[in-house]
Each structure stands twice: as structure tokens, then as C-alpha cells.
Amino acid sequence: MSELSPLSNYLCEAIDSAAANIEPISTQLEQACDQITETLLNDHKLIICGNGHSAPIAALLTTSLMHQQEFERPSLPAINISIDSTTISAIAKDGNYHHVYSKQIRAIGNKGDTLVALSIDGNCSNIVQAIQIAHEKEINVITLTGFEEGKMSAVMQGEDIEIQLLSHSVARTMEAQLLAVNALCHQIENQLFGGMF
């Protein structure tokens, strides 16, 4: 039997890493699904943000909720506050980059909404500020992070849901975040619309 090529070995490591996250995060993912479903059933919205390598995964989460993942169904109210480069650059230029998300949440967030924040290492100061403003406005908080507990973990409160992935590299965390987001969307879609369309 021939040895795996370096590329095949890399792919196997990625699959093994993703599989290692299934059991540790399943409970938190179920809780996140329930929280998001409750938010939507109560006519509230999701506010989504992601930093750096997590930003495109946050965008995919928003798209899957606003449009669809597996089947045609009504759109769900999800707003991504990390994709408007004009607003973000204006806030950063006139104030502080730490406030690029918290200022938007202060403007559009309402009690009963849910903030879903993604970060590779869990140390993003702008997401820390976003979480703190969410708490002030009685907005639910769900985070999806990799690496060790960081600054975001330090500001989480009792009812918040922290999904911390078992990963110590940017690539592995991105892959695990994508897997978690796809599972989240699948479950939400089926809880709300399964069998209806």
C-alpha cells in the first residue's frame, strides 16, 4: 500500500479535525439552534458578524438564512453587520475600530434579537464590544470560536451560548466553523419549515 501524498495527508488531517469537533460542540449547537428558532418565532431578528477569516463564513450563514440552504422556503430575518465596508471604514476612521460592530448593534438591535458572532481566536476587541452592547440591550448572544478561551469568553454571561471548537490553526478552525454553520442552518431550516414545502 502506497503512502499518502502530502496533499492527501493534509485532507485526511482536515477530516479528522472536523470529526473531532462533532461530539464536543453538539450540545452547544443544539442550544444555539433552539435560541435562534425561538428568536425567529418571536418575530425578532439575527444580527451576524465575523472577523477576518470568519467573515466569509458569517456571510454564508446570513445568506443561508436569508435565502435558503436545502430547499425553497420563506426568508429569515438575518443582518450581517460585517460586510458594509463603507459603514465600517467610516466608524473606524472617525472613532475607533473597536466600535465598528457595537455602534451598529446599538442602532439596529432590539431586545429579543440574537447576535451570532464568529472569530477564529476569540480575541477580537470589536466583537467583545459588540457582546457588551448586546447585553446592555438584552440581545441574546451566540459565539463560534476556535483556539483557547480568549477575551470574548471573558465577557460572556450566564444565558449566552459559546461554541468553542477544538482547533489550533486558522485553516482547521475555518473548516470547523463552516461545518458548524452548515449544521446550524440545516437544523433551523428543518425545525421551522421541514415537511412544509
Burial label, 153 (beta-carbon count in 10 A; 0-12, 13-18, 19+)? middle
Average pLDDT for 123-131: 93
Inter-axis angle of helices 170-193 and 55-66, to 10 degrees?
10
Average pLDDT of every residue of the chain: 91
Q: What are the tens digits of pLDDT across the range 97-113?
A: 889 999 999 999 999 99
- Across 25-39, 123-137, 147-161, least confident range: 147-161
* Predicted pLDDT at 58: 96
Please provide the size of the chain in residues: 197
**Separate counts of helices (H) and strands (E) for the chain:** 7, 5
* Stretch 162-191: mean pLDDT: 90
Q: Where are the beta strands (DSSP E) in 78-179?
A: 78-80, 114-119, 140-145, 161-164
Contact, 42 vs 112, CB < 8 A? yes
Q: Please, is 30 exposed, middle or buried when counting C-beta atoms within 10 Å of its C-beta (0-12, 13-18, 19+)?
A: middle
Question: What is the C-alpha to C-alpha distance for residues 78 and 120, in angstroms, rounded to an integer?
Answer: 21
Domains and CATH numbers, the chain: 31-193 (3.40.50.10490)
118 vs 196, more confident: 118
Q: What is the pLDDT of residue 1?
A: 44
Question: What is the spatial distance between Cα 167 and Cα 103, in angstroms, rounded to a whole number?
Answer: 31
